[in-house]
Amino acid sequence: MIEDLLRALLGIPPGTTRINKDLAIMRQLTKPVADQIIPWEKEKELELMALKMEVKSHKRGMDRMLVGSLLSIYVEPMVTFAYMDYVKGTREALLYCRTREFELVYRIKKRDIDVFLNGTQVAIIDQDGIMHGLKSRSALGRVKPYSSDLMSVMVLDREAGHLFNPNRPHSEVQRAFFLMTQLSDEEERIFLALGLYELITRMLANKKKK
């Protein structure tokens, strides 16, 4: 509690110990839904994901942890997630996502975002929204505007698909993603890492405005 108060007053980002504790809580809170997540047998099933989110708030000291899931067009859980803001007025935050196969963690910091896949840091998203490989530093992809309704998901210098802008008016069964090409395993992981971050953070921001 004292740490939470000092961080709030002084605008100090959390340390590694606090991050790891919160991550453990996120895993625990999302486990009931994680056990029910439907399997994805191929990347095309990503297109079954709808712009449909269920989310609840959990108190964590002076902070609030949001826990929820993304549903398919058949109202089945496809992704479970947890999100926490740390310092009000800044980007300091933690986002945890779980699919049937992958665990993605985004440590959102003032200047960039550390991306972890199944417990290992694999990439960094810079201030321009470009994802770079952690070791190679080469550009892996990015999400950029395509139209008022759509955003292009670029993977390894090609347009792999589109993300429907969740802030635009849409039907209850609006699909979140549309793939334009078949993806390799690596390309699918890049697409998923970029797409889930953009989708969840935009939908949560939209909910906060309501």
* Tens-place pLDDT, residues 131-177: 999 988 899 999 999 999 999 999 998 999 999 999 888 887 899 99
3-state secondary structure of 78: strand
Per-residue burial over 3-36, b if 16 or more Cβ lie within 10 Å, else e, is eeeebeeeeebbeeebbeebbebbbebbeebbee
Integer Cα distance of 126 and 128 in angstroms: 5
Tell me what the mean pLDDT of segment 72-78 comes to.
93
- What percent of the chain lies above the pLDDT cut of 90? 66
Closest listed residue to residue 69, CA positions, set 85, 84, 57, 52? 52
Closest listed residue to residue 8, CA positions, set 86, 120, 111? 86
Integer Cα distance of 116 and 176 in angstroms: 23
Per-residue pLDDT at 31 exceeds 70: yes
Q: In this structure, how many other beta carbons lie within 10 angstroms of the beta carbon of residue 40?
A: 18
In contact, 158 and 26? CB cutoff 8 Å? no
3-state secondary structure of 103: strand
Per-residue pLDDT at 7 exceeds 80: no
- What percent of the chain lies above the pLDDT cut of 70? 90
Tens-digit pLDDT profile for residues 119-130? 999 999 999 999
Integer Cα distance of 158 and 148 in angstroms: 20
